[in-house]
Amino acid sequence: MVRRGERASEFELIARYFAPLASKAPLAYGLTDDAAVLRATAGHDLVLKTDTIVGGVHFLPGDPPQSVARKLLRVNLSDLAAKGAKPRVYLLNCSLPRDVEEGWIKAFAEGLAADQGEFGIVLVGGDTTATTGPTTLSATVIGDVPRGTMMRRKGARSGDGVWVSGNIGDAALGLRLLKGDDLGLNKSLAAQCIERYRLPQPRLALGSKLRGLAYACLDISDGVLADLGHMCDVSKVGAEISAEGIPLSAAAHRALAAGKVDISDLLTAGDDYELIFAVAAKDELKLSRVARSAGVKITKIGRIIRTRGIVVRGAHGEPMSFDRRGYQHF
């Protein structure tokens, strides 16, 4: 029992806020052991992914802890979507400042609980520690796919169409708004962009339906040009895309019209967490049906070509130049 004024210990915090998140995983043993057990489903491969978010880099100090928790899960789930995988369990590592308020931890756990319910995933273990640096949060998500069906970055072929889900660039606008930039948006459009930054939407339903249809797939975390470049590099091909064909929201169109951003800002910004994938022309009708059944908008933005490199063409077909391809950690 913690007396008034005393700080809860690591194990008390785990028991109070994180153990309830593991209640539906009996082989997690209530987070009272050093490890959990995971049994693979017959005829399936396990798909593993880990990602880290750092305070001041991937989220802002003033972001609500519930949204920080949900973003942590969702950026990892977005990678499972790009693999066509169904989420099963996750491990959580939290490095928190020594003076973190218990209320922050409580709200953080509430955010995890909300997304566990939404995405059908459950906590099975992890680690909690103190740090003298910024808040650092890591999740390792584990999903599964029918054996041999996981989509990879590699596999794009000359002539394939390049497609993206959703809209591009809203999260970048949301981050700029949170940092105080005036983008000429009304409150409603601004709120939509901020939500896109704080709460990305992992395209799990679409990803599972792209198995056997998309020759290559990944999620857009570092920017359209950067992540399309990753696909092309490992596939040993290039791509040609149309700047005019990039799907944009009403907010992005308004910010562009006001001269607050340009298309290069939107193509090279991170945090979209949409899928980008290559599909053969012969399969485009089937792809349209699949996207409708998943309830996700998709847009063809270009094509895969034999010549290495990414070419972006403007409104009149002219090649455009860019100072960078996307977000870089180093």
Q: What is the CATH number of the domain that holds 20?
A: 3.30.1330.10
Residue found under tokens 């089937």:
286
Q: What gap in Å lies between CA 30 and CA 20, rounded to an integer?
A: 8
Task: Answer whether residue 155 is part of any domain.
Answer: no
Asked if 59 contacts 68 with a C-beta cutoff of 8 angstroms, the reply is: yes
Please tell me whether residues 235 and 92 are part of one structural domain.
no
Residue numbers of the domain that contains 182: 161-313
The candidate with the shortest Cα–Cα distance to 239, out of 251, 252, 225, 249, is 225
Per residue in 62-83, pLDDT tens?
A: 899 999 999 999 999 999 999 9
Q: What confidence score (pLDDT) does residue 328 get?
A: 58
Please tell me whether residues 308 and 166 are part of one structural domain.
yes
Asked if 233 contacts 330 with a C-beta cutoff of 8 angstroms, the reply is: no
Please tell me whether residues 136 and 183 are part of one structural domain.
no
Please tell me whether residues 175 and 297 are part of one structural domain.
yes
Q: What confidence score (pLDDT) does residue 266 get?
A: 94
Please tell me whether residues 123 and 168 are part of one structural domain.
no
Task: Answer whether residue 202 is part of any domain.
Answer: yes
The CATH number covering residue 215 comes to 3.90.650.10
Give the domain-ending residue among 97, 121, 146.
Answer: 146
What's the number of CA atoms in the CB half-sphere (13 Å) around residue 117? 6
Q: What gap in Å lies between CA 112 and CA 69, rounded to an integer?
A: 6
Structure tokens at 273: 């967490």
Asked if 102 contacts 11 with a C-beta cutoff of 8 angstroms, the reply is: no
Task: Answer whether residue 280 is part of any domain.
Answer: yes
Q: What confidence score (pLDDT) does residue 199 get?
A: 96
Q: What confidence score (pLDDT) does residue 327 get?
A: 58
Give the domain-ending residue among 101, 119, 146.
Answer: 146
| Weakly modelled stretches of the chain, pLDDT under 70 | 1-7, 325-330
Q: What confidence score (pLDDT) does residue 316 get?
A: 86
Number of domains in the chain: 2
Q: What confidence score (pLDDT) does residue 32 get?
A: 86
pTM over 0.85: yes
